[in-house]
């Protein structure tokens, strides 16, 4: 008798369908969604996008231009994920849906240009230096970003053998030179040495969130090698944090620099002093800081320790500024509509400074106001009075 054929291998469930099937369609995410809040239609809600992506995956409906636009409009803020009682991993579902969308249709030219630029630091710095020169003469639609500081356009990076390393980012690298200098100076005064590995590159989140998993994986491999000597990696941009953590995949402890600083402040107790600051400032809490990194409590504690400081949190319009990666350049009108309530609240508050912990949000907000916009740590590290003698024996995060 011929041997019986082996049973067919069980079919793997479609990962997108498996993610979508966790949704029980309760609708509790709708009030948290900025695009639903604006449009008030189901297809601009998380539940509507989940149903649409699943219907495309199982073939019950064909993709249309209108359907693709609903997926394009998602800001990737993940406010829906943070309130979902069924544990739907919306961020993961969005990445898979956008990967399939990219197979159906080429991304816009702005997305392709930026994906090609951000992992070439020299070219990016050269173009930003040119932008800085010509910006005053450009029409307003080409002035979507503030001018980068001249100090940020020089190459940075230090190959010390410190076990604590700083992730610099891509666009953030030229814009955040002052922040990094202040932070490293502050940590040095606390007796903590920080390395900035020169070989590091873009985190790849801009690529991953637009469905370009191949480029994101290549950048992840690159960063894993660049940070091979570190056991702790500090991130400054809340939008980069998750991608950096996924790249290092447990090889180093990845921690938001805000949380790291707060741990150091707590460890030193009264040995560390804050300078008084009689100022009213506004605080923007980026969606990625609230929903992904979750360093908001640490930041609030740090700010509340500064004597004399008044902090107004900007919460209008569900707090999302609309930057959403490349969307602030690709769809500036929509991005400005989300930003407008926050800027109105900022200007009504009388605040003289605006703090926000994500580079994309900061660039987008700064382009719409004359109020100084900074990373919270650029502001806070200037107020810490530390001496080397205040360093504890261990500096781990
Ligand atoms: S809250 Fe979660 S389960 Fe409910 S509709 Fe939204 S995604 Fe689905
Ligand atoms: S990620 Fe943000 S914009 Fe997108 S569906 Fe969820 S809440 Fe709405």
| pLDDT, tens digit, 9 for 90 and up, residues 275-331 | 999 999 999 999 999 999 999 999 999 999 999 999 999 999 899 999 999 999 999
34 CB within 6 A, ligand 2: yes
28 CB within 6 A, ligand 1: yes
The CATH class that applies to domain 15-104 reads mainly alpha
pLDDT digits (tens, 9 = 90+) for 67-85: 999 999 999 999 999 999 9
CATH number of the 269-384 domain: 3.40.50.1860
Residue boundaries of the structural domains of the chain: 15-104, 115-264, 269-384
pLDDT bucket at 222, cuts 50 / 70 / 90: very high
* Least confident range of 65-74, 264-273, 333-342: 264-273
Residues facing 234 on adjacent strands: 166, 255
- The atom of ligand 2 lying closest to the CA of 49 is 5
Q: What is the pTM of this model?
A: 0.91
148 touches 131 (CB < 8 A):
yes
49 touches 71 (CB < 8 A):
yes
Report the C-alpha dihedral over residues 322, 313, 190, 249, rounded to 10 degrees.
-40
74 CB within 6 A, ligand 2: yes
Report how far Cα 258 is from the mean position of its chain's Cα atoms.
14
Instruction: Give the ligand at the shortest distance from the Cα of 46.
Output: 2
CATH number of the 115-264 domain: 1.20.1050
What is the Å distance from ligand 1's center to 27 Cα? 5
- The atom of ligand 1 lying closest to the CA of 25 is 5
Residue 165 tokens, joined: 């390393």
Phi-psi region of 317 (alpha: psi -120 to 50; beta: other; left: phi over 0): left
Q: Distances in Å between the alpha carbon of 362 and those of 35, 116, 239, 352? A: 20, 22, 11, 15
77 CB within 6 A, ligand 2: yes
| Atom 2 of ligand 2: nearest residue by CA position | 77
- HEC string of 292-322 equals HHCCHHHHHHHHHCCCCCEEEEECHHHHCCC
pLDDT digits (tens, 9 = 90+) for 81-138: 999 999 999 999 999 999 999 999 999 999 999 999 999 988 999 999 999 999 999 9
- The atom of ligand 2 lying closest to the CA of 32 is 7
Asked whether residue 237 carries a pLDDT value surpassing 90, the answer given is: yes
């Amino acid at each position: 008798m011929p041997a019986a054929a082996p049973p067919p291998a069980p079919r793997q469930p479609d990962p997108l369908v498996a993610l979508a099937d966790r949704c029980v369609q309760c609708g509790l995410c709708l009030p948290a969604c900025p695009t639903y809040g604006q449009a008030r239609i189901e297809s601009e809600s998380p539940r509507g996008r989940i149903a649409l992506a699943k219907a495309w995956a199982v073939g019950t409906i064909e993709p249309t231009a209108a359907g693709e636009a609903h997926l394009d409009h998602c800001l990737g803020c993940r406010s829906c994920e943070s309130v979902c009682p069924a544990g739907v991993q919306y961020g993961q579902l969005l990445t898979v849906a956008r990967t399939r969308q990219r197979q159906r249709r080429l991304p816009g030219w702005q997305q392709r240009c930026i994906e090609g630029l951000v992992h070439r630091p020299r070219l990016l710095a050269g173009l930003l230096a040119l932008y800085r020169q010509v910006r005053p003469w450009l029409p307003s639609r080409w002035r979507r970003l503030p001018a980068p500081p001249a100090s940020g356009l020089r190459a940075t990076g230090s190959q010390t053998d410190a076990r604590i390393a700083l992730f610099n980012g891509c666009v953030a690298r030229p814009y955040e030179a002052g922040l990094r200098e202040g932070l490293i100076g502050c940590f040095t005064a606390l007796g903590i040495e920080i390395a900035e590995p020169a070989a590091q590159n873009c985190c790849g989140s801009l690529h991953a969130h637009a469905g370009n998993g191949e480029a994101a994986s290549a950048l992840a491999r690159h960063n894993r090698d660049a940070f091979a000597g570190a056991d702790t990696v500090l991130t400054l941009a809340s939008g980069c944090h998750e991608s950096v953590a996924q790249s290092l995949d447990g090889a180093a402890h990845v921690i938001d620099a805000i949380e790291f600083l707060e741990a150091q402040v707590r460890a030193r107790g009264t040995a560390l002093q804050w300078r008084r600051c009689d100022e009213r400032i506004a605080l923007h809490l980026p969606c990625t800081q609230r929903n992904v990194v979750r360093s908001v409590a640490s930041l609030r504690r740090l700010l509340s320790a500064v004597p004399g400081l008044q902090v107004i949190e900007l919460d209008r319009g569900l707090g999302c500024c609309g930057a959403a990666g490349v969307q602030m350049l690709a769809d500036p009108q929509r991005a400005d509509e989300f930003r407008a309530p926050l800027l109105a609240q900022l200007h009504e508050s009388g605040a003289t400074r605006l703090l926000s912990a994500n580079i994309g949000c900061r660039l987008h907000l700064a382009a719409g106001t004359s109020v100084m916009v900074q990373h919270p740590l650029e502001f806070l590290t200037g107020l810490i009075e530390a001496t080397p003698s205040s360093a504890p024996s261990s500096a781990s995060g």
